[in-house]
Amino acid sequence: MTILEIAGNVLLFALVFGMSATVEFSSVEHQLQNRKAILVGCFCQFVVLPLLGYAVVEILDLDAPLGVTLLVVVCSPGGSYSNW
| pLDDT average per 10 residues of sequence, the chain (84 residues) | 87 82 82 90 91 94 90 76 52
> Are 45 and 26 members of one domain?
no
Alpha-carbon gap, residue 69 to 62, rounded angstroms = 10
CA 68 to chain centre: 16
Instruction: Please give the model's pTM, rounded to 2 decimal places.
Output: 0.61
pLDDT at 54: 94
> Are 28 and 48 members of one domain?
no
> Are 41 and 3 members of one domain?
no
46, HSE (Cβ side, Cα atoms, 13 Å): 6
> Are 48 and 82 members of one domain?
yes
pLDDT at 20: 74
Domain count across the chain: 2
Alpha-carbon gap, residue 40 to 3, rounded angstroms = 41
Give residue 24's domain range.
Answer: 1-33
Taking CA atoms, 30 is separated from 24, 33, 34, 40, in Å, by 10, 5, 7, 16
> Are 50 and 25 members of one domain?
no
